[in-house]
């Protein structure tokens, strides 16, 4: 499995000739090194409806004829746009796709879709994602607070890579995320959802030090950098 970070909570994950993207936010991120037109994937996985997680889902899905996989209400929203292939799921549910297995998990956050003019619509429940491809499992926590059932995620799954938000303010901060890393006990933990905006500025290397003090491995991925497991 190859995991490439593209800023905020956006990752492209590849294995066995398959490729998917999680929470694409590229055109709205001035630090991103690629554009939506550069992305070649067969599936777009979404954790919740906030703009910094779904902004480029539609153009990427249309260009690639890719399936959008999301919590039910968010999938229904995209289905309503017409001409998109969507697969609705929900928390606790799993499904085997050609590229791998997807299971949605709890996340403690919000989920609304900005439809303009200061209006938002309900986006369903926020989620995390357990994605298994090429015999490896990555846990993308989505936007979330620390919550006790992360212990169960670690106990019930052999997680190779945990992708955890550290930005604070809207999600866990570094200290809570380090506790989450301890509970999940992944082979390697990668920070995400930080430094895109001043309000979520953090030092990812300091977070990795917190993780390593617990006897675990952490790794910072710069924009466009990949991790292979």
- By three-state DSSP, how is residue 190 classified? strand
Residues of the chain with pLDDT under 50: none
The pLDDT, as a whole number, for residue 166 is: 98
DSSP per residue over 148-160, as a string? TTHHHHHHHS--S
Q: In CATH, what number is assigned to the domain containing residue 201?
A: 3.60.15.10
98 inside domain = yes
Residue 228 lies in a domain: no
User: Among residues 196, 147, 212, 209, which one has the least CA distance to residue 9?
Assistant: 196
Strands (E) in the chain, as ranges, are 2-5, 11-15, 18-22, 43-45, 67-71, 85-89, 94-96, 101-106, 112-116, 119-122, 127-133, 136-140, 161-165, 188-192, 226-228
User: Cβ-count burial of 156 within 10 angstroms (0-12 exposed, 13-18 middle, 19+ buried)?
Assistant: exposed
**Rounded to the nearest 5 degrees, what angle is found at the Cα of 129, between the Cα atoms of 182 and 149?**
45
For residues 52 and 227, give the distance between their C-alpha atoms in angstroms, rounded to a whole number.
Answer: 23
Is 95 inside a domain boundary?
yes
Q: For residues 194 and 167, is the Cβ–Cβ distance under 8 A?
A: yes
- Answer whether residue 225 is part of any domain: no
Give the pLDDT of residue 134: 97
pLDDT of amino acid 150: 98
Q: Please give the tally of structural domains in the chain.
A: 1
pLDDT at residue 178 in the model: 98
> pLDDT value at position 27?
97
**Amino acid 32: pLDDT:** 97
Give this prediction's pTM. Answer: 0.98
* Domain annotation covers residue 20: yes
pLDDT at 224: 98
Range of the domain at 157: 2-219
Q: What's the pLDDT score for residue 212?
A: 98
Inside any domain, residue 229 = no
């Amino acid at each position: 499995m190859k995991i490439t970070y593209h800023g905020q909570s956006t990752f492209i994950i590849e294995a066995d000739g398959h490729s998917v993207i999680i929470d694409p936010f590229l055109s709205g991120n001035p630090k991103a090194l690629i554009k939506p037109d550069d992305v070649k994937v067969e599936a777009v996985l979404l954790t919740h409806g906030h703009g910094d997680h779904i902004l480029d889902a539609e153009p990427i899905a249309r260009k690639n004829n890719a399936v959008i996989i999301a919590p039910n209400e968010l999938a229904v929203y995209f289905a309503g746009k017409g001409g998109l292939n969507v697969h609705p799921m929900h928390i606790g549910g799993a499904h085997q796709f050609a590229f791998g297995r997807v299971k949605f998990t709890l996340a403690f956050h919000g989920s609304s879709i900005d439809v303009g003019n200061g209006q938002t619509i309900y986006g369903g429940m926020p989620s995390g994602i357990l994605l298994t491809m090429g015999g490896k499992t990555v846990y993308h926590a989505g936007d979330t607070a620390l919550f006790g059932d992360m212990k169960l995620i670690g106990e019930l799954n052999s997680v190779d890579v945990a992708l955890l938000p550290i930005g604070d303010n809207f999600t866990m901060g570094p200290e809570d995320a380090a506790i989450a890393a301890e509970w999940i006990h992944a082979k390697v933990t990668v920070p995400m959802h930080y430094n895109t905006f001043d309000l979520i500025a953090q030092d990812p290397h300091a977070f990795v030090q917190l993780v390593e003090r617990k006897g675990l491995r952490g790794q910072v991925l710069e924009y466009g950098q990949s991790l292979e497991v």
